[in-house]
Amino acid sequence: MRKSLWVLTGIILALLIAWFFISAYTSSSSPKIVSNVVHSPAIHLNYSNMAEQLSKNSMVKALPTSSFIILRFYNFNSGQRVFEKSYLLSNSGVEETELQNADITILISSKYLG
């Protein structure tokens, strides 16, 4: 039961992170007001601001204390997958890491970065 709860939490978290990247990538830079809700300008993520911007994310701050997520970026420039950078996401912040074991590992192509 506890393991299935972790899996469900992981799937929901992965979907939310994917939604964050997709909405940041497709949003325009001007604020929009829809049904009295103000949307802030999109933040264009890159390797130089990744840790800072993700550390501010409320979803990352809400992670359980003992949970760790690794966000790994890769490319296929050479015809095969080559990992570029990895970030460890925890409720205490985000930092670049070389670790490969975590509760959840999310792989994203670096072509989605600015």
| Domains of the chain by residue range | 2-112
Per-residue model confidence (pLDDT) at position 31 = 57
Nearest to 40 by CA among 55, 25, 28: 28
Per-residue model confidence (pLDDT) at position 11 = 82
As to burial, measured by CB atoms within 10 angstroms (0-12 exposed, 13-18 middle, 19+ buried), residue 35 is exposed
Per-residue model confidence (pLDDT) at position 38 = 65
53 CA to centre of own chain: 10
26 CA to centre of own chain: 15
Query: Whole-angstrom Cα distance, residue 81 to residue 96?
Result: 19
The tens-digit pLDDT sequence of the chain (114 residues) is 667 777 778 788 887 887 877 776 665 555 555 566 667 777 788 888 888 988 888 888 888 888 889 999 999 999 999 999 999 998 888 999 888 788 999 999 999 887
Nearest to 67 by CA among 15, 93, 13, 103: 103
How is residue 51 annotated by DSSP? H
Per-residue model confidence (pLDDT) at position 45 = 83
What count of residues does the chain have? 114
Query: Whole-angstrom Cα distance, residue 18 to residue 12?
Result: 10
